[in-house]
Chains A and B, each alone.
Chain A
Amino acid sequence: KNEVEQSPQNLTAQEGEFITINCSYSVGISALHWLQQHPGGGIVSLFMLSSGKKKHGRLIATINIQEKHSSLHITASHPRDSAVYICAVRSDTGNQFYFGTGTSLTVIP
């Protein structure tokens, strides 16, 4: 059973395009994380959300708690944004974490 589902699994975009990655979850959560995993394997935390919207530079993350859905948007995409983007949630019944399978993004110059 997958507590966290992401779409799409793979995404190819032209440089400059606006990108959206979606995450749906089925458990009650206290927080949702968006992570970026580089080709070398390293993981960087992009956002932690419990409500509303956050913005860092060209990245925007939103969450709708009622619909159990979050989106990660990248504006003016660049080849250096190419990575796997992972949605993860912390359950509200403890400090347990569930991860999505990731969205592999390739931005072509």
Chain B
Amino acid sequence: EPEVTQTPSHQVTQMGQEVILRCVPISNHLYFYWYRQILGQKVEFLVSFYNNEISEKSEIFDDQFSVERPDGSNFTLKIRSTKLEDSAMYFCASSEDRPYEQYFGPGTRLTVT
């Protein structure tokens, strides 16, 4: 069964460094999403992406964040200058079309020290 994959599974970085989290969505899916979950808290929506542009973003998704689909398969989330409060699990998801069910990746745990 096709699945969403994410790399790395765990990333440790120092405050102020840039990180890129990578996702490979399911191949025929058109919508892509990033979510984050700070330890012990609820999942939060960051951004949705369609047709090579952001279709919606939350208040959390400020200028520190950017997303890109650099080729036909990868979908990346970049955090330019990480802060301690960016430590969280980041989930990527994709869906075949907008009102369709989303498939989640296993997550990347980001630890900022």
A interface with B by C-beta (< 8 Å): 30-31, 33, 35, 37, 41-45, 47-48, 50, 86, 88, 94-102
Contact = CB atoms under 8 A, between A and B. Distances in A.
Contacts of A102: 42
B44 A99 contact: yes
Contacts, number: 57
A41 B98 CA distance: 25
Nearest to A98: B45
B58 A45 contact: no
Main secondary structure of the interface of B (DSSP, over half): strand
A96 B43 contact: no
27 contacts: A30-B99, A31-B99, A33-B101, A33-B102, A35-B104, A41-B107, A41-B109, A42-B104, A42-B106, A42-B107, A44-B104, A45-B101, A45-B102, A47-B101, A48-B100, A86-B42, A95-B50, A95-B55, A95-B56, A95-B98, A97-B35, A97-B48, A99-B42, A99-B43, A99-B45, A101-B41, A102-B42
Nearest to B103: A45
A96 B56 contact: yes
Nearest to A37: B43
Contacts of B45: 96-99
A100 B42 contact: yes
A86 B106 contact: no
B89 interface: yes
B44 A43 contact: no
